[in-house]
Amino acid sequence: MLKKTKMKYKKRKLILVITGSPGVGKTTLAKYLSKILNCKVINEREFALENKLGKWNDEIKEVEIDIKKMEKKLNEKIKKENRLIIEGHTLCEAKINADVVILITLHPEILEYRLEARGYNYEKIMDNVFCEGIEYCKKHTFRNYPKDKIIEIESQRSFKNTKELVIIRLKEKGLI
């Protein structure tokens, strides 16, 4: 079935954005969908560093990205690409010319557990859990993208369940 899907949609242009708080499963989902949909994946942080759109901040231990510059550069890149998945948590703040935006959410307590397991420091965990609790990414996604292009998925305890929900929603939109 996967080979049929991959072959069937190989030539159709498709630009997907995947956003949500750190730890919700964006990268894992992007890698999975790239195989099914035959799409190249761009990680926002790597893209920002490669294009000098952000810099590493030792104090907060993360890349500070100029959102407007990244938005402009990504939209330029999209014009040259046929099939692309762009993933990252700050994409909710940008306005990327995507066919679909997948917003992944997660219960804050589960997010806290995941970030602890990844070795995040306490302050960073609490910052991300707070943002998830106030639905920061969700609010910004719905401000910056047309509602009919947004697929909101609550991350499940297992990736298998999450990916099944995403596939169902992509099929409903006629993308696979």
Q: What is the pLDDT of residues 40-82, one digit of tens each?
A: 999 999 999 899 998 877 877 778 899 999 999 999 999 999 9
- Residue 7: C-alpha distances to residues 17, 64, 110 (Å): 22, 38, 37
Domains of the chain: 14-165 (3.40.50.300)
pLDDT band per the 50, 70, 90 thresholds, residue 154? very high
Kindly state the greatest CA–CA separation across the chain: 48
pLDDT of amino acid 3: 45
Rounded mean pLDDT of 104-126? 93
Average pLDDT, the chain: 90
* pTM (whole model) above 0.85: yes
3-state SS record for the chain:
CHHHHHHHCCCCCEEEEEECCCCCCHHHHHHHHHHHHCCEEEEHHHHHHHCCCEEEECCCCEEEECHHHHHHHHHHHHHHCCEEEEECHHHHHCCCCCCEEEEEECCHHHHHHHHHHCCCCHHHHHHHHHHHHCCHHHHHHHHHCCHHHEEEEECCCCHHHHHHHHHHHHHHCCCC
Rounded mean pLDDT of 112-140? 94
pLDDT of amino acid 133: 94
